[in-house]
Structure 1
Amino acid sequence: MLSPRARRALGLAFVGLVCGLGFWSPAFLAWDRSGWGDWQQFHHWWEIGVVSIRRWGEWPFWDPHHCGGVSQWGQPQAQNWSPLYLLLAVPFGTVVGHKLFILVHHVIGFTGLYVLARQEEKLRRPGALLAAIVWTSSGFAAWHFAGGHSTFLAFLYYPWLIYCWRRADRDVRWAAAVAAIMAELLLEGGHYPFPYAVVVLGFDSLMRLRRRNAWPLVRTMIVAGVLTGLLGAMRWVPILIAMSRHPRPIEDTDRIRFDEVVEMWTAREHAWRWDGHEWVWAEYGTYVGWSVLALCVIGIALALRRRHLYPVAGALFFLAFSMGYHGPLWPSSLLHALPFFSNLHLPSRWQVVCTMFMALLAGRVVSSLDATLSAWRFHRDFDWIRPLAPWALTLAIALDLYVVGLTITDRWDGEPLGTRAVETPHLVRTHRYLDEFADYPSRNVGTMECYDAVPWHRSRSLWTGEVPQVRIVDAESGETRDGDVLHGYGRTNHRAWADVTLGAPGRVIFNQNYEQQWVSSIGTVVDDDLRLAVDLPAGRHRVEVRFAPDDLPWSVVASALGAFGCLIVVARPWRRARAPRATP
């Protein structure tokens, strides 16, 4: 028999599931169709793991199907090691798995903001429900998630992150939950959600330091910080290595006026391009509607009147970030000057945090309306209005968000994946690269084209076509020689082999990019015009090369230690503050 608390939790999750199925119904109605926009890129990365695990029985450390071959282990946006990926992608496949991935995150974000609103902001049920709906069904969620920004789904962990962060002040065991969420942000490719989360927790801490003893917060920072560093090592270490070898400094001068921010919040339709801005509207659209905006203004007044500055300060603070660069002392400019944050652009993406606080402010008004109506005395013929009015307002706003959002989320019109025949490995060149490269892993082909945020070092000497993917040349002249024979070759995800006979010492060139973390079973791995090559002595050899990340054993061991540390923190009977005894 379930306890009342468990029943409430299941009920809340069910409501979130129903709301998520409604908002993302176009994706599930087009069950086998792949996604639009950047979904093709994330489909590609997910397919690498699905094909590698299913076909080769290997972890997807390398991407042989993109950019001439690059590290998947060091790819900042890779999600192949997230528990949710392993639970959804491998059994269900990439397309269906991605749609379930969206739905699961919708439920996580919905329940998280509802619990945060109820437990921390003390909102009544209609207000908490409105806040959860506004945040998970805003234009930001519709445009970014329907457009393929799969890593941005990790933003939906933020309410639970804040909730656990605050609980850790009273019971340090919650710091393990904070570390687990922060590590999951990294595992889901959180190149934006993870650094943004650091700023969000920093803001939350500063707001609470005004009236609290600093030691519990410092203790939480230390415990959660150490556990996050260990638990997330298998992601942040390879990402740090990859980005240090392939730096990506971003020059971003995008500036948004306040009237333009209002347009982002209220425009039900918009042209694809936005005059005066470099990026398309999908990067800016954050529809919440005039009703929510009006409730936010009233919510600010109510919060200030009760001296509850947290949601007001949060909305204004992150609004300033989202407005871009308005001088060297503007928050976005100062943040962009810090390490790692210089790799990020499009400050309008801070709207995901701003709208979270706006949702709490709007929910506060509905909560106050519910409390006021509950205290009023109506004529018995009109008494039914009291409980109905706040719920009716919530429903009306939800319908408005869904009417706008469903026109955006109905973008699942790509070809199904994995339906084409498996080919012998080779590199292809096509004019439809962005429409086709999600299918390259299942087809077993690759490309030199490179739609990727990381500026990988790529060889211009690779060759295309259904021809042998291994060449034997003289190491000095680079010319082919008589007497050298290629008997066979093949590859899996992060392994390649060739059976060769060399009449004299020579060089075996594999048709992919060189990376210094490749090792060979024989001979010496060398860089041949940025191509992977091995220098071999004369004779017949079966040479096998393998991508072996330098940090792999140490990063995984550190993450295992972090998991063990979380268990110790949770299991240890920490001393809690006791309530004072009542005087007889």
Structure 2
Amino acid sequence: MRPSPSTLLRVLYRIATTAGLRLAFFGLLALVAAWEPLSQVGRTNDFRDAHLLYAYEEAGARTVATYGQAPLWNPWTCGGQYALGSPQTRVASPTVLLSAALGAHRAEAVVLWLFLVLGMEGFYRFARQRTGSAAGALVAAPFFGLAGFTAHAWSLGWLNFAGFLLLPWLLFGTRRAAEGHLEGAALVAGGFALQLGFGSSYPVPMSALFVALEAVRTLVSQPVRRSGRWRAGVWALGATALFTLGASMFRLWPLVETMRSAPRIMAGTPSHSLETVGRELLQFPSNADVGHFFFLPGALVLALGAVLARRRAAYPAVLAGLCLWLASGYAAKPSLFAALRLLPVFGTLRYPERFLVPAGLFLAELAALGFAALLLRSTRGRAWKWASGVACALAVAGIAVQVIGFSTLAGRVTLVPTPIAVDQPFAQTRGNRWAQGYFLPLNRGSIACGEAWPVPMSERLRGDLPQEEYLEDPGAGTARRVTWTPNRLEVDVDATRPTALLINQNWHPGWKSSVGEVVSREGLLGVTLPAGHHRVELRFLPRSGLGGTAVSALAWGGLALLAWAKRRRGGASPWPGPRAVAVAALPLVAMGAMWVGWHEPEAMPVLRNTDGSLLGTAELPANARVIHGRFERPVELVAAQVPSAPDARGIVPVVLYWQVRGKVPRSVGIWVHVAGPGERKTADHAVVGGTFFFRDAPRRALLRDAFALSAKDWEPGEWKVLVGLWYAGDDGARLKAFTDDGTPVPEDRFEVGTITVPPKPKP
């Protein structure tokens, strides 16, 4: 006997309104969806990115579990790295304690399950707040919480993208804060702090964008405007923003410090057609090329019912449309993604398709609205009653399909047995940038770095030293390791004359020594010592990490103080507006005092091309071809170096010398065409030397833009190298080019050299 529609609705309502049943329901869905990861705990994801990110997490877990230290310094990766300052590490999250207890491999699947439950519960609260329907929020929660990208990301080792699942909590907290509820500020501050600690480099700025829109949405809503509470809401949101900054400073300060010394530049003009965007979002992941963001198409049927909700449906519909516009990248004309990248921080975003994740959130909100609207009309007649029953059955079936889609994507992972650990003293080795997961179990540090940002690494790092701590002058005495931990080293030194103790790790200004002075020896960690016997104790005590943690503790203390004061007044009164802002600002004032009073050497960036050569130069080399080509924007192509023929490997190294004299749009890039017998090759790039957009380059400095061309497949003959500028991130038009005396140049390009490709040898 089939259950009647009213029976199904009662069951759904009972589950939705009972917290224990609801969480059990979400937990069961997450268990089934993530069964593949959970059943394979302890095995190694063999994808190259997974090796790198696993090594980060295992390093943090080992630092906590084995050495009883906070995961501040990671000696096992890239020759030694500031763990809190690396954007993709998640060792600043509470989940590192789970990794320390279970091991990083075993903890990954458990953390995934926890985030899935957290995401569904967060969406339920957000959607119930927006729709007023518990049942609608319940059935739509799995559409967002089990959307495909989290499974796809896990299969590639990108577990930090689970930070996207905190977005509904942030939106929910934003509205609660604007309405005068203190817990809303705690949710926003805690959500962003967790995202940052979890290494969510994309979710954080993208969430900030939608939180700002949600704040505006709340302030202009009718209930707030009619009650005259918008001024109080502005004060509350201002205090929430300050509390969030303070609460996040434990991670934000180290990140800012790192990005100052090693800026992360993302160029390119990624484009996706509307068809591609639609397939990524709506096509079931039946093969490896589509469905990476799978969101049940059947949920759109429920979303159509949102038209019955009228005004409530307008905002999520518009936001979903904006997300799809952003996801298309530069293919859309005009490109909203290109405009967004002009803003600070958003310029580091490279993959616009990830806006399909928040698109799924707003589509799920529409599905919740549609379902709720049908339920409201179920009492108006038999037809409406059965329509709501069909919607209920469609929702239940849709949840099952969403679970299957998630499981399908998660099952694409390639797992191999976990490497066996070897207990031996730490030492650096040359390593492998895409197999770092094999080196840490051997207690070996990899000096082959596969990061997406230019990690400052010393060229003096070695993978073949007989011992990791040694004297710069071997004849000056001896050095012997006494104690080794990630954040603390002890070395006995007997020196017959002043010398320097060198450690085979990268230098960082956070290292402090009990004797002598910590110095950088071409990026290598060193300590200058006088003659005599010394027990040198090195500790990693970074100002940004320790100071940022103190600021975050003060922020949470201030929030607790406001909660105590509100409870003392009976809990009914709203936030004290200006007073709350003053309390929220105090931790940031304390940070300013630490910045001024706590001195630490600044790690200045060493800017290099991708071939390792210095980006800046004082003068042109003697063999450079002087050009003095000018453009309609204040950029000059000063000179170029182009060899007359490829080298023995078929490689053509090219160097262009640029000088920026004024303000240049970010979209201006360099086009390089090599024209030869019947064809043309390109080497276009938007970033000078892999480091600067012209907009951000230092003024009037002589910049070396070094890159290489491969002539292995070129036809024999003469090839001309042509160079110009174009609006790479805009309409693709070339910039007008002129000679030094202002004469226009035909085709707006300069010929900078000629390459003669010799005939290929006969087999």
Q: TM-score, normalised by structure 2?
A: 0.67
User: C-alpha offsets along residues 355-399 of structure 1, whole Å, 9 cap, x if unaligned?
Assistant: 1001122233333344444432379xxx9x677533321122223
Backbone CA RMSD of aligned residues: 2.7
User: C-alpha offsets along residues 262-282 of structure 1, whole Å, 9 cap, x if unaligned?
Assistant: 121233347657xxxxxxx6x
How far apart are 1:77 and its partner, in Å?
2.6
In structure 2, the partner of 1:292 is 299
Within 1, Cα distance between the matches of 2:270 and 2:262?
24
Q: Percent identity over the alignment?
A: 26
Question: How many residues in Structure 1 have an aligned counterpart in Structure 2?
Answer: 549
Within 1, Cα distance between the matches of 2:179 and 2:272?
40
Any conservation in 2 of the 1:300–1:312 contact (CA below 8 Å)? Answer: no
Given candidates 85, 89, 93, the residue that maps to 1:78 is 89
Q: How does 1:303-452 map to 2 (within 5 A)?
A: 303=309, 305-306=310-311, 308-326=313-331, 330-377=335-382, 388-411=389-412, 413-415=414-416, 417=418, 419-430=420-431, 433-435=433-435, 437-452=436-451
Residue 84 of structure 2 aligns to a residue whose secondary structure is coil
Within 2, Cα distance between the matches of 1:195 and 1:485?
50
Question: What residue identity is the alignment partner of 2:399?
Answer: A
In structure 2, the partner of 1:526 is 519
Which stretch of structure 1 is more off in the superposition, 485-494 or 103-112?
485-494
Q: Structure 1 regions of 5+ residues with no counterpart? A: 274-280, 475-479, 578-584
Question: What residue identity is the alignment partner of 2:86?
Answer: Q
In structure 1, the partner of 2:37 is 27
User: C-alpha offsets along residues 458-483 of structure 1, whole Å, 9 cap, x if unaligned?
Assistant: 12222114721122233xxxxx32x6
Given candidates 172, 178, 184, the residue that maps to 2:181 is 172
Which stretch of structure 1 is more off in the superposition, 95-104 or 30-39?
30-39
User: C-alpha offsets along residues 153-200 of structure 1, whole Å, 9 cap, x if unaligned?
Assistant: 121112122112112233331323322222222222232222222211
2:284 is the alignment partner of 1:268: yes
2:135 is the alignment partner of 1:139: no
Residue 575 to residue 398, structure 1, CA distance change in 2 (3 Å): closer
Residue 118 to residue 575, structure 1, CA distance change in 2 (3 Å): closer
Any conservation in 2 of the 1:56–1:492 contact (CA below 8 Å)? Answer: yes
Residue 434 to residue 570, structure 1, CA distance change in 2 (3 Å): same
Within 2, Cα distance between the matches of 1:271 and 1:386?
34
Residue 31 to residue 249, structure 1, CA distance change in 2 (3 Å): closer
Q: How does 1:521-560 map to 2 (within 5 A)?
A: 521-560=514-553
In structure 2, the partner of 1:58 is 69
Residue 556 to residue 512, structure 1, CA distance change in 2 (3 Å): same
In structure 2, the partner of 1:252 is 268
Residue 309 of structure 1 aligns to a residue whose secondary structure is helix
Any conservation in 1 of the 2:282–2:297 contact (CA below 8 Å)? Answer: yes
Higher gyration radius (CA): 2
In structure 1, the partner of 2:750 is none
Within 2, Cα distance between the matches of 1:306 and 1:80?
43
In structure 2, the partner of 1:203 is 213
Any conservation in 2 of the 1:35–1:411 contact (CA below 8 Å)? Answer: no
Within 1, Cα distance between the matches of 2:297 and 2:273?
18
Question: What residue identity is the alignment partner of 1:291?
Answer: G
In structure 1, the partner of 2:491 is 498
Residue 271 to residue 18, structure 1, CA distance change in 2 (3 Å): closer
Within 2, Cα distance between the matches of 1:528 and 1:124?
63
Residue 11 to residue 346, structure 1, CA distance change in 2 (3 Å): same
Any conservation in 1 of the 2:495–2:531 contact (CA below 8 Å)? Answer: yes
Q: Say which structure, 1 or 2, has more relative contact order (CA 8 Å, 6+ apart).
A: 1
Any conservation in 1 of the 2:499–2:531 contact (CA below 8 Å)? Answer: yes
How far apart are 1:318 and its partner, in Å?
1.9
Within 2, Cα distance between the matches of 1:99 and 1:341?
30
User: C-alpha offsets along residues 27-48 of structure 1, whole Å, 9 cap, x if unaligned?
Assistant: 1111322335333333212211
Question: What residue identity is the alignment partner of 1:26?
Answer: E
Q: Which runs of 4+ in 1 moved over 6 A?
A: 4-7
Residue 458 of structure 1 aligns to a residue whose secondary structure is coil
Question: What residue identity is the alignment partner of 1:229?
Answer: L
Any conservation in 1 of the 2:60–2:91 contact (CA below 8 Å)? Answer: yes
Any conservation in 2 of the 1:33–1:413 contact (CA below 8 Å)? Answer: no
Any conservation in 2 of the 1:51–1:442 contact (CA below 8 Å)? Answer: no
In structure 1, the partner of 2:684 is none
Question: What residue identity is the alignment partner of 2:115?
Answer: H
Within 2, Cα distance between the matches of 1:348 and 1:10?
36
Which stretch of structure 1 is more off in the superposition, 202-211 or 110-119?
202-211
Q: TM-score, normalised by structure 1?
A: 0.87
Question: What residue identity is the alignment partner of 2:68?
Answer: G
User: C-alpha offsets along residues 261-316 of structure 1, whole Å, 9 cap, x if unaligned?
Assistant: 1121233347657xxxxxxx6xx8212243234444x246445x456412111111
Any conservation in 2 of the 1:469–1:489 contact (CA below 8 Å)? Answer: no
Within 2, Cα distance between the matches of 1:523 and 1:270?
63
In structure 1, the partner of 2:254 is 238
Within 2, Cα distance between the matches of 1:454 and 1:183?
22
In structure 2, the partner of 1:119 is 129
Q: Structure 2 regions of 5+ residues with no counterpart? A: 1-13, 575-763
Residue 240 to residue 299, structure 1, CA distance change in 2 (3 Å): farther
